């Protein structure tokens, strides 16, 4: 501006140069404008670049946050405790809040990205679009991952809560079980009652805890259906708790039954104890014989009569206990010993008491019959006179209380009459006894008849007085009941005639409840009114009839007014209910009308779907609400037709409701049509975009050239691609057909966007065809790679298994028979395992032969090398397995032979011990017994001959087979043969020794018998008695002849005793041999053999 002023000033001052100055000024202005334009363009360019850089920076930051959050959400940590579950769930909820906080940033960034990339075809912007698509995918995956993780943590939290509650439940179930199974039966009635009460309280606590147990069981069953991870543990815990709870319930019922049975037993035992104490106490009275003085004889007799009456009255006590005992025996047979013992003891005590009582009565009567008779009659007459004075009284009571007192006195007199009757029966007995032995028979009879006549004469006045007293009580009772009912009716009549009907629905309902309560009271009181009316018919008193008529009139008025008030309240209730329902209907329809009149339009398909869904729900609610409108209309018509006092108001309110409902339905239909049209277009657009995005993602996978580095890799690629191909073909074709069908329907329906829909459809079908072609090509490439890598893998796997089996062959053959047989069984199983490998070897060989034809060069050589390695390893494994099998067979045979030798050696050691364990015999019988036992050992040795033969045969067979342990086998055979020979020789030596001992013992026995016979016969031979008479001489001759016969019989025994025994013969032989050895001509004598013991 200053330069322009200066140029104008110069032009004015120098007119001749004004043209040049102005041209120069115009040139400078033009350059200035160009510079300003360039500056503006530069600023705009820098602004867009800054905006793009800021967007890229925000995008990097957001993707970094998205990656971190996905990593945090993808955590595999599973909580093992409840605090940990709460902590993880709280942290996960914090992540949700963080995601919600970043939602606006995501939406802003997505909008900015669309703005930046819109209309751009540069590669950098295409890459940016891919990043935005990846951002969308990551955001959706984050939401889905959060939901999955949230579901997992919720299940884990619920599981930990269930475990915590189940531990609490198990704790008090354990306490219940311990209490139930450690409760002892009390031994007293009080303790039994306390135990039952305590157990009932315990069962009450069990019932109180049952709700919690059922709650945890229901929670567990619900978690089993929802939580697939912990379902098995939860089900196991639920079954355990349910089983223990059921077991505790059964145990509690059984324990209660046992406690009640014990209470019955203790009650019975206490009754028995009380009766026993009572019987013992009465036994002291019955056994009291201090009645020698005549002056108090009658009083003792009366006391004894009362005692007998008391005894007779308490006989029911014994019968009751007897009945209870029999019932216990029927219901509980296991208590029979205790119950029978108690019942027997009680009956024995009772019989003793009755016997003592009868004995005392007889003694009292026999002590002084005449005096007793006179005193008894005098006492009865005195009592009769006193009773006559009481019966002549005119006092029958002035009110209900005094009448009841007189009736109690009357009952006492009647009870005393029964006692006096028994005394009279006793006097009759005394009369009969005195008549038989006393001279004053007539006086005694007349005295008894006089007393009996007075007693009979008192029955009539006594019954008459009782009748008058009962009549008096009935009259006084009727008057009181009548007054009470009149007062009751008068108190409730004001409630029945009230005109208060309520101003709103709650007040009317309250009044109805009060009136219903009054009606129930009246209905419950009606039997009392009927009873008083029935009793009043027998009353002829005018005053009573008037008061009864007053009561009946008031009662009828009360019933009538109550029914009228019920009808009025019902009418008021129907009207107030209608007003209340109509007001609620108008309020609800007003709210719905606001929603129907909304002009909000859907922004996208989800929004349109949500709006339509919400509208359909509202429309369904509106349709369902027609039932409510119909019910209101029916209610209003019924009240109007029945002539309700508020019919006009009811009709007007019903018309308002109908009009509002009809207008609301029209609005709903218009709103639904608009929302459906918007949803169809949004849905087709969303389906097209989703399907194209899905096809693009699938094309990236199908175009991959990765064929796998090894078998596992190619298998994974092939399986994944097969699943990918199957899912793509099935799901994709279905989705494409569905989208094409939707597009055709929209086109055929004449939609305004037909051209756009047709263009979308053609592009979609072309992309789908390209994807199917890519999938087919990659499937063929992966199949060929899989076949080759599978052969390599199978060959390596088979070779590794063969080598592993080769290493598994142990060198050990076993230390004994059991281990050798175990080794043999293991080798048999090992050979079965090897046999299973033959199928794999055959498969590798077949696959190698087939693939060698399809490949050439380096791959064919590689296939041949793998096949040859497997075949050589397999042949080597079969050879080593066969060698080891034969070695194990030889080892088992050897150990079996050694076991048989060891068993026989152990048996021979046992036989050796048996031979050495025999004690020296002390008499002939023990020697004979030892010889028999020794012969039994010989029989056992001979019975083992077959075992020795078998053992020798096995050993010789092994030697013939050139067994690798032939030296040990030969040594064992020699040891066995030598040991067997030694046992036989030892047995024979022992047998010879026992024969010698038996012979010596028999000699000693016979010598002792001979000495005893000689000693007994020596007095006969040495006797000098020759006899003093012929008879004595003949007797002595006979005795001597008998001695000679006996001596002739003992000659043979003495000759046998003179023979040398085997022991003496051996000793003689040894002395002769020793003498021969002492001669000088003989060579030096050898050492003498030790003498046998």
Written as six digits, the tokens of 526 are 């009606």
Q: Are 280 and 340 in contact (CB under 8 A)?
A: no
Structure tokens belonging to residue 974: 């020699």
Is residue 133 classed exposed, middle or buried when 0-12, 13-18 and 19+ CB atoms within 10 A define those classes? middle
SS3 content of the chain, % helix, strand, coil (to 5): 85, 0, 15
SS (H, E, C) 383-446: HHHHHHHHHCCCCCCCCHHHHHHHHHHHHHHHHHHHHHHHHHHHHHHHHHHHHHHCCCHHHHHH
- For residue 78 the two structure tokens come to 């599973």
Q: Which residue has the tokens 């390596």?
A: 796
Q: What is the maximum span of the chain, computed from C-alpha positions, in angstroms? A: 232
pTM for the whole structure: 0.34
489: CB partners within 8 A, 6+ apart: 551, 554, 555, 558
Alpha-carbon distance values, 470 to 168, 311, 393, 411, 537 (Å): 68, 32, 15, 12, 18
Measure the CA–CA gap between 321 and 330, rounded to whole angstroms. Answer: 14
Chain centroid to CA 585 = 52
Radius of gyration in angstroms for the set of CA atoms belonging to the chain, rounded to a whole number: 64
Mean pLDDT by 10 residues, the chain (1093 residues): 73 78 81 78 61 72 80 77 81 82 80 74 70 82 84 81 81 80 77 80 76 80 75 82 84 82 78 80 69 54 67 74 79 79 81 74 56 59 64 62 68 66 63 56 62 66 67 67 78 76 75 80 78 70 72 80 79 78 82 76 71 80 82 82 79 84 83 75 79 82 76 79 81 84 80 74 85 83 79 81 77 72 76 78 81 76 82 82 76 80 86 77 78 83 84 85 82 85 84 80 78 77 73 78 74 68 70 74 47 40
pLDDT at 555: 82
pLDDT tens digit sequence for 636-659: 888 888 877 778 888 888 888 888
Residue 987's closest CA among 1022, 1030, 944? 944
Is residue 915 a contact partner of residue 933, using CB atoms and an 8 Å limit? no
Whole-number pLDDT of residue 394: 62
Q: Residue 564 in contact with residue 498, Cβ under 8 Å? A: no
The structure tokens listed for 910 are 């046992």
Tell me how far apart the alpha carbons of residues 249 and 238 are, in angstroms, rounded to a whole number: 16
Q: Please classify residue 360 by burial: count the beta carbons closer than 10 Å to its beta carbon, then call 0-12 exposed, 13-18 middle and 19+ buried.
A: buried
Helix or strand run (H / E) with residue 309: helix 297-313
Predicted local confidence at residue 1087, as pLDDT: 46
User: CA-to-CA distance for 519 and 530, rounded, in angstroms?
Assistant: 17
**Residue found by looking up tokens 């039932």 in the block:** 627
The per-residue pLDDT for 389 is: 63
**Dihedral sign for Cα atoms in the order 980, 986, 988, 994:** negative
Q: How many CB atoms lie within 10 A of CB 651?
A: 13
DSSP state of 183: P
Taking CA 776 as the corner, what is the angle to CA 772 and CA 780, rounded to the nearest 5 degrees?
Answer: 170
Burial of 415 (0-12, 13-18, 19+ CB in 10 A): exposed
Cβ-contact 605, 676 below 8 angstroms: no
The answer to whether the beta carbons of residues 869 and 791 sit under 8 Å apart is no
Q: Distance between CA 160 and CA 81 in Å, rounded?
A: 6
pLDDT digits (tens, 9 = 90+) for 905-933: 888 888 888 877 767 777 777 778 888 88
pLDDT at 941: 81
């Amino acid at each position: 501006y200053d330069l322009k002023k200066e140029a104008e000033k110069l032009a004015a001052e120098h007119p001749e140069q004004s043209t040049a100055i102005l041209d120069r000024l115009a040139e400078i202005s033009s350059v200035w404008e160009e510079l300003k334009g360039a500056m503006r363009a530069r600023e705009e360019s820098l602004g867009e670049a800054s905006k793009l850089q800021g967007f890229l920076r925000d995008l990097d930051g957001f993707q970094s946050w998205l990656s971190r959050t996905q990593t945090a959400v993808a955590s595999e940590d599973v909580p093992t405790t409840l605090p940990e579950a709460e902590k993880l769930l709280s942290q996960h909820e914090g992540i949700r809040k963080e995601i919600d906080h970043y939602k606006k940033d995501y939406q802003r960034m997505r909008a900015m990205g669309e703005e930046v990339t819109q209309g751009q075809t540069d590669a950098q912007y295409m890459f940016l679009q891919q990043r935005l698509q990846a951002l969308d995918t990551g955001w959706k995956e984050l939401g889905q991952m959060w939901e999955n993780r949230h579901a997992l943590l919720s299940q884990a939290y619920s599981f930990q809560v269930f475990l915590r509650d189940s531990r609490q439940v198990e704790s008090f179930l354990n306490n219940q079980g311990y209490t139930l199974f450690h409760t002892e039966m009390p031994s007293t009635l009080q303790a039994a009652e306390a135990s039952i009460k305590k157990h009932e309280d315990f069962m009450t606590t069990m019932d109180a805890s049952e709700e919690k147990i059922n709650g945890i069981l229901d929670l567990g069953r619900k978690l089993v259906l929802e939580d697939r991870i912990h379902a098995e543990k939860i089900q196991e815990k639920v079954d355990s708790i349910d089983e223990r709870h059921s077991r505790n319930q059964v145990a509690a019922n059984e324990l209660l039954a046992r406690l009640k049975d014990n209470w019955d037993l203790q009650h019975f035992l206490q009754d028995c104890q009380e009766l026993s104490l009572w019987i013992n106490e009465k036994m002291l009275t019955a056994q009291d014989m201090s009645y020698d003085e005549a002056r108090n004889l009658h009083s003792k007799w009366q006391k004894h009569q009362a005692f007998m009456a008391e005894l007779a009255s308490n006989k029911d006590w014994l019968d009751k206990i007897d009945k209870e005992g029999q019932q216990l025996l029927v219901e509980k047979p296991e208590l029979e010993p205790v119950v029978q013992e108690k019942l027997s003891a009680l009956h024995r005590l009772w019989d003793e008491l009755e016997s003592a009582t009868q004995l005392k009565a007889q003694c009292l009567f026999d002590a002084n019959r005449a005096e007793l008779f006179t005193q008894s009659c005098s006492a009865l007459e005195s009592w009769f006179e006193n009773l006559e004075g009481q019966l002549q009284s005119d006092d029958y009571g002035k009110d209900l209380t005094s009448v009841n007192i007189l009736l109690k006195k009357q009952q006492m007199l009647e009870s005393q009459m029964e006692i006096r009757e028994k005394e009279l029966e006793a006097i009759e007995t005394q009369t009969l006894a005195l008549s038989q032995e006393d001279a004053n028979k007539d006086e005694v009879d007349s005295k008894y008849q006089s007393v009996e006549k007075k007693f009979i004469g008192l029955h009539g006045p006594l019954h008459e007085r009782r009748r008058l007293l009962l009549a008096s009580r009935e009259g006084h009772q009727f008057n009181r009941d009548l007054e009470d009912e009149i007062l009751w009716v008068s108190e409730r009549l004001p409630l029945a005639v009230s005109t208060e009907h309520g101003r709103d629905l709650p007040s009317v309902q309250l009044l109805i409840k009060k009136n219903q309560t009054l009606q129930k009271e009246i209905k419950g009181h009606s039997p009392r009114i009927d009873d008083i009316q029935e009793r009043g018919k027998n009353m002829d008193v005018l005053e009573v009839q008037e008061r009864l008529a007053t009561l009946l009139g008031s009662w009828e008025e009360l019933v009538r007014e109550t029914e009228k008030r019920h009808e009025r309240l019902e009418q008021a209730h129907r009207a107030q209910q209608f007003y209340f329902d109509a007001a609620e209907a108008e309020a609800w329809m007003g709210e719905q009308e606001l929603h129907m009149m909304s002009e909000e339009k859907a922004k996208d398909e989800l929004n349109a779907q949500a709006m339509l869904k919400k509208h359909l729900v509202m429309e369904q609610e509106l349709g369902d609400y027609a039932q409510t409108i119909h019910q209101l209309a029916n209610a209003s018509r019924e009240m109007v037709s029945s002539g309700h006092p508020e019919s006009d108001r009811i009709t007007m309110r019903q018309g308002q409701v109908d009009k509002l409902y009809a207008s609301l339905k029209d609005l709903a239909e218009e709103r639904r049509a608009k929302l459906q049209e918007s949803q169809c277009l949004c849905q087709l657009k969303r389906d097209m975009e989703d399907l194209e995005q899905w096809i693009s993602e699938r094309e990236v996978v199908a175009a991959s050239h990765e064929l796998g580095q090894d078998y596992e890799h190619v298998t994974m690629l092939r399986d994944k691609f097969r699943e990918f191909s199957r899912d793509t073909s099935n799901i994709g074709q279905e989705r494409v057909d569905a989208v094409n069908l939707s597009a055709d329907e929209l086109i055929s329906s004449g939609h305004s966007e037909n051209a756009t829909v047709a263009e979308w459809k053609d592009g979609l079908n072309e992309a789908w065809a390209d994807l199917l072609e890519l999938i087919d090509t990659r499937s063929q490439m992966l199949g060929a790679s899989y076949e080759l890598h599978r052969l390599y893998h199978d060959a390596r796997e088979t070779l590794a298994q063969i080598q592993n089996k080769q290493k598994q062959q142990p060198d050990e053959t076993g230390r004994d028979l059991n281990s050798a047989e175990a080794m043999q069984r293991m080798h048999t199983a090992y050979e079965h395992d090897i046999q299973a490998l033959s199928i794999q070897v055959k498969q590798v060989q077949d696959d190698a032969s087939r693939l060698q034809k399809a490949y050439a060069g380096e791959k064919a050589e590689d296939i041949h090398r793998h096949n040859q390695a497997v075949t050589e390893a397999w042949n080597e494994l079969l050879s080593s397995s066969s060698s080891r099998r034969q070695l194990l067979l030889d080892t088992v045979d050897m150990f079996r032979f050694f076991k048989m030798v060891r068993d026989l050696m152990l048996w021979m050691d046992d036989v050796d011990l048996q031979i050495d364990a025999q004690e020296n015999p002390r008499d002939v019988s023990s020697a004979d017994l030892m010889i028999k036992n020794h012969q039994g050992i010989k029989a056992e040795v001979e019975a083992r001959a077959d075992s020795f033969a078998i053992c020798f045969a096995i050993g010789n067979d092994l030697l013939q087979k050139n067994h690798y342990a032939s030296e040990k086998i030969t040594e064992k055979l020699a040891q066995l043969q030598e040991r067997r020979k030694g046992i036989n020789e030892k047995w024979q030596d022992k047998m010879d020794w026992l024969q010698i001992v038996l012979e010596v013992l028999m000699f000693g026995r016979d010598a002792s018998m001979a000495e005893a016979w000689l000693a007994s016969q020596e007095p006969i031979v040495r006797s000098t008695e020759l006899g003093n008479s012929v008879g004595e001489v003949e007797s002595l001759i006979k005795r001597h002849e008998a001695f000679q016969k006996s001596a002739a019989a003992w000659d043979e025994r003495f000759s046998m005793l003179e023979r040398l025994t085997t022991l003496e013969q051996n000793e003689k032989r040894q002395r002769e041999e020793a003498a021969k050895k002492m001669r000088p001509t003989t060579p030096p004598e050898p050492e003498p053999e030790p003498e046998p013991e």
